[in-house]
Amino acid sequence: MSEQLLWAPQAWLNGHWEHNVCLAVDTQGHWADITPNVPTPPTHATVLPGPVLPGLVNAHSHAFQRAFAGLAERRESAADDFWSWRDRMYGVALRITPAQLRAVAAQLYVELLQGGYTQVCEFHYLHHQPDGQPYADEATMAWAVADAAADAGLGLTMLPVLYERAGFAQPTLRPDQRRFAGTPDVIARLQTTVQTSGRPRVNAGVAIHSLRAASADSIDALLAQVGDADMPIHIHVAEQMQEVRDCLAATGQRPIAWLGQRWPMDARWQLVHATHTEQAEIDTVARSGAGIVICPSTEGNLGDGFADLPAWLAAGVPMAVGSDSHVNRQWAEELRWLEYGQRLRLQQRNVAAAPTQQPATAARLFDAALHAGGPAAGQRVWGLTRGARADALVLDVQTPGLLGVPATHRLDALVFATNTSALSEVYVAGHKLVHAGRHVEQDRIARAFESTMQALWEI
């Protein structure tokens, strides 16, 4: 691509709105320079139609579960919880083909772009054929996801998942988990294969499904292969109280306490959910430099519980957000429900605000997700800053919720007063992928998704 210059009436820089901002994009699709207070657009600049925000990283995704969103909202037995939802979700995992996964993920990634995410961390454990046998190319399902990201134009961090057993006391996988099997060697190979593929806007780390789903010896083996390599390491931890109880029974410690004692976490580690914690565990994570990834819409949908947001924020732990099972695909709603959950739990308002530092709740949550998201995705530089990939979100200030709102409060209104997508344009690496709220490939990708859903559900 050639160099280009964008000009915005407002842009979110360093935690606040700046006015009349020029944004220069280099030939590699990165920000070459960002200059506020340029009152008149240069003659060769593209004038953006509204204020600009940086794109966020969606730090936790299971793309195939987009095919299940909205289809588990009925209860036909005495009880329903995370574990019964999981059993029903496996039905999709056991059927979906590589071509269907590509179609589902492409639709999801279009929706994520429209919802303000420009990079996704794909927690990928669908490795094998439906009968549990490996594909001839063991990266077949990973390539389906990467192809979908290319279809949509979204940046992708692939996280192949170590998943080898059904629980602390169950040394093997259940039959309905057969597609998930992955040894440390396989996971390390998948990471290397994707990382060295040369695909644009694709990088890779590794993931451990959970302490219950991988033995200590296998975690040791995977981490030995990772060594000191600069890559993200993700793990589900302390999402459900049953997991906490099972970990206590198996190890004598709660999950985060055992994780912190058994393995030397550092800034590469991302603890997904981290819902059920004690203060000592939060302090352990803070000392390690690790981050957390909270997924409020999924945690609410599954009845997981409330993370201790005030304690995590007070400890200074990096906090990214993800949409996980994709019942919601907009970061503004994730931030809204992250705060609303705490308001309901504590019967207070503006829980996440810091009156002496950042009194705006939306700004504090947004900046937390912005600054934590880059490292969670293995991106050394992220946001509206020189050297970062040239990703940008352009707000439509005529959207209900933003209409008439003072310029200083637009981020507040976006998170807490807007119930539809408020983005008119979305750029990734300097390329405009969303125009007037529509993705450039929206119709084609939607048709493939609809056909796939009809096949999956025999409509």
Q: Which residues are known to be catalytic? A: 273, 324
Give the DSSP letter of residue 318: -
Residue that is written with structure tokens 């006391």 in the block: 169
CA 156/CA 149 separation, integer angstroms: 6
Report yes or no: 434 and 440 within 8 Å, Cβ to Cβ. Answer: yes
Q: Which residues contact 69 (CB under 8 A, 6 or more apart)?
A: 325, 326, 327
Joined tokens for residue 393: 């979100």
Asked whether the beta carbons of 261 and 253 are under 8 A apart, the reply is: yes
According to DSSP, the β-strands at 4-13 and 46-47 are parallel
DSSP 128: S
Per-residue burial over 54-75, b = 16 or more CB atoms within 10 Å of its CB, e = otherwise:
bbbbbbbbbbbbbbbbeebeee
SS (H, E, C) the chain: CCCEEEEEEEEEECCEEEEEEEEEECCCCEEEEEECCCCCCCCCCEECCCCEECCEEEEEECHHHHHHCCCCCCCCCCCCCHHHHHHHHHHHHHHCCHHHHHHHHHHHHHHHHHCCEEEEEEEECCCCCCCCCCCCCCCHHHHHHHHHHHHHCCEEEEEEEEECCCECCECCCCHHHHHHCECHHHHHHHHHHHHCCCCCCEEECEEECCCCCCCHHHHHHHHHHHCCCCCCEEEEECCCHHHHHHHHHHHCCCHHHHHHHHCCCCCCEEEEECCCCCHHHHHHHHHHCCEEEECHHHHHHCCCCCCCHHHHHHHCCCEEECCECCCCCCHHHHHHHHHHHHHHHHCCCCCCCECCCECCHHHHHHHHHHHHHHHHCCCCCCCCCCCCECCEEEECCCCCCCCCCCHHHHHHHHHHCCCCCCEEEEEECCEEEEECCEECCHHHHHHHHHHHHHHHHCC
